Amino acid sequence: MSTLEFYNARAAECRAQAHGSPLLNVRDRCLSAASAWDSMAERVRRTQTYRVEDAARKAAEGRRA
């Protein structure tokens, strides 16, 4: 399981816990945790995109040289 998959799974698990809880404070805590996991997953996605774009840029520069 990749880091991105792990973060997404944890966010989904937190959302499920939130929707399954009758207690408002537990729901809020779980949704807050889900939001944090989503933020971490988004950072991983951006990093992956940057790495792919950077590798393509370097390959293109190498062809020009």
pLDDT in tens, 1-57: 899 999 999 999 999 999 999 999 999 999 999 999 999 999 999 999 999 999 999
| Integer Cα distance of 57 and 26 in angstroms | 46
Nearest partner of 7 among 34, 27, 26, judged by Cα: 34
- Prediction pTM value: 0.84
8 CB contacts (<8 Å, ≥6 apart)? Answer: 37, 41
C-beta separation of 17 from 30 below 8 A: yes
